[in-house]
Amino acid sequence: MINVTKAYLGDIDKFKTYVEGIYARGWLTNHGPLVGELEQRLKDYLGVKHVILTNNGTLALQVAYRALGLNGSAVTTPFSFVATSSSLQWEGVRPIFADIDAQTWNISPEHIESRIVSDTTAIVGTHVFGNPCAVERIEEIARRRNLKVVYDGAHAFAVRHAGKSVLNWGDISTLSFHATKLFHTVEGGAIITHDDEVARRVHLLCNFGIADVDKIDGIGINAKLNEFSAAMGLCILDDIENILQQRAEIAHRYSASLGDYVDLQKAQDNSQLNHSYYPIALSDESQLLRLRSALNTNGINPRRYFYPSLDTLEYLQPQAAQTTSRALSERVLCLPIYPGLKLEDQERVIATVIAECSRAHTPYQLRNMANAI
C-alpha cells in the first residue's frame, strides 16, 4: 500500500553512533547534550531566537497557551488537526471558530474581528499544509485588540515568509515532530518564541515548574524531549535539504498534471513552502469518496485532512456553523508525498485522479481543455 506519507528514516549507522554516545553517558533525558545540540541547530537552521523542544506538538500548544496566560476564549480555525482546538479546551480556553479563506484555506482575517468577544485573549491560527496565514493582518488585529497570537506551525517547518521563517510570527509558534511530519524526532515538538521572558516561562512549564534543585516556581508539566528522539532529529536535520528537494519535485509533478482537474490551495504571497502535504479539493464529497475508493483499489491510501470541520465537534458546541470550512473539509484529500515515493507510483496516483475527475467534467469544461491543448 502506498500511504499518504511514510516516516523518513535517516542513516542507521549515524543513528547508532549517537545511541552509543547515549549509552556511554548514561544520560537518557532531562536536557541532555543531544537535546541541547538539536535546539541550537534548529535555532540556526530556522533563524529563530528560542527553540524549546517538547515531547510532542500537542503539549507544545498546551504549554504555549499557559505561558501566555490565555483564558476565557480564543478565536481559532475550524480547518485544522483536532489538536489545535482540543488543546485549547483542555486548557480551559473556549475555542470560538472564525471561518477560513476559500483560497488559502487558512483562518480569514476578515472573519476574526467579528468573532472576538469580551473574554477573548488570543488568536490561534494554523499554517494549514504549511501555507502561511495572513500573518501581517493578524498581527495588526491582535495589536489593536490587545490579543496574544499563537500559530500552530505543525506543518510549517522550513516554511519562509517575507524572507524569514514563518515561525517568527506570533507570540509563540509551535511545531510537531511526530513521525509523520516532514522533520521528526519519532514523537516530539517545539515551542518557538522571540520573547526571553516567555521562553523562561516555557522552560519552567515544561519541567514541572522546577526552577532550581530546591525551588518549584508554580505549576508545570512534563513536556521534555528525550535523548533518543533528539538523536533521530539530528540525523534527519542533516538530510533536510534533500528531503525538501524531493518533496518539491513530487509536488511540482502533481501540480503540472492535476491543475486542470482539481482545485488546489492558493499559496500565500511572498512565501516559500515546504510541500509537507499535497492536498487536492474535489468538486464535492461524492467525487472525493469515489476517488478514494478508486485509489484504494489501486493500492493507494490517501487521507482526508481535515475532516470533519472542527466546528461540528460535539464537545465544542455551541458554535456557529463555519460554512467555508465545512464545505472545504468535505472536498479535500491529501495525496501521497514523501521522499522516496517512486515515480511509477506517483504516476499511478495521477492517472487515477485524472480518470475519476475527467469523468466528472462537464462538456463545457472538456471543450475548454481541448482548446487549451
Ligand X SMILES: *Cc1c(COP(=O)(O)O)cnc(C)c1O
Nearer to ligand X, 160 or 184 (CB): 184
Q: Tell me which stretch binds ligand X (CB under 6 A): 81-89, 93-101, 216-224, 229-237.
A: 81-89
- Tell me the C-alpha to C-alpha distance, in Å, between residue 245 and each of 57, 274, 339: 25, 9, 9
Question: Are the C-beta atoms of residues 159 and 192 closer than 8 Å to each other?
Answer: no
Q: What angle do CA 171, 177, 179 make, to 5 degrees?
A: 160
| Residue 229 sits in the site that holds ligand X (CB under 6 A) | no
| Residue 80 sits in the site that holds ligand X (CB under 6 A) | yes
> β-pairing, 189-193 with 94-97?
unpaired
Question: Are the C-beta atoms of residues 55 and 103 closer than 8 Å to each other?
Answer: no
Q: Which of 346, 248, 256 is nearest to 300 (CA)?
A: 346
Nearer to ligand X, 76 or 246 (CB): 76
State the chain's maximal CA–CA distance in angstroms: 76
Q: What is the DSSP letter of 266?
A: P
Nearer to ligand X, 159 or 357 (CB): 159
* Local structure of 253: helix, strand or coil: helix
Taking CB atoms, the residue at the shortest distance from ligand X is 57
d(CA 313, CA 318): 9
Q: Tell me which stretch binds ligand X (CB under 6 A): 4-12, 65-73, 79-87, 355-363.
A: 79-87
| Residue 334 sits in the site that holds ligand X (CB under 6 A) | no
Site for ligand X, residues 171 to 210, rule: CB under 6 A: 176, 178, 189
Nearer to ligand X, 73 or 174 (CB): 174
Our measurement of the distance from residue 126's CA atom to the centroid of its chain's CA atoms, rounded to an integer in Å, reads 7
| Residue 170 sits in the site that holds ligand X (CB under 6 A) | no
| Residue 152 sits in the site that holds ligand X (CB under 6 A) | yes
Interface map 83-122 toward ligand X (x if CB under 6 A): xx--------------------------------------
Nearer to ligand X, 157 or 261 (CB): 157
Minimum separation from the CB atom of position 64 to ligand X (A): 11
Nearer to ligand X, 32 or 189 (CB): 189
Minimum separation from the CB atom of position 189 to ligand X (A): 5
Question: Are the C-beta atoms of residues 77 and 223 closer than 8 Å to each other?
Answer: no
| Residue 154 sits in the site that holds ligand X (CB under 6 A) | yes
Residue type, 100: I
Q: For cell 508525498, what's the residue? A: 337
Nearer to ligand X, 131 or 287 (CB): 131
Cell numbers for 75, please give them.
478565536
Residue 41: half-sphere exposure toward Cβ, Cα within 13 Å: 15
> Which of 5, 58, 76, 352 is close enough to bind ligand X by CB under 6 A?
58
| # of chain residues touching ligand X (CB under 6 A) | 14
Beta-bridge partners for 127 = none
Our measurement of the distance from residue 131's CA atom to the centroid of its chain's CA atoms, rounded to an integer in Å, reads 9
> Which of 81, 97, 151, 277 is close enough to bind ligand X by CB under 6 A?
81
Binding site for ligand X (CB under 6 A): 56-58, 80-81, 83-84, 126, 152, 154-155, 176, 178, 189
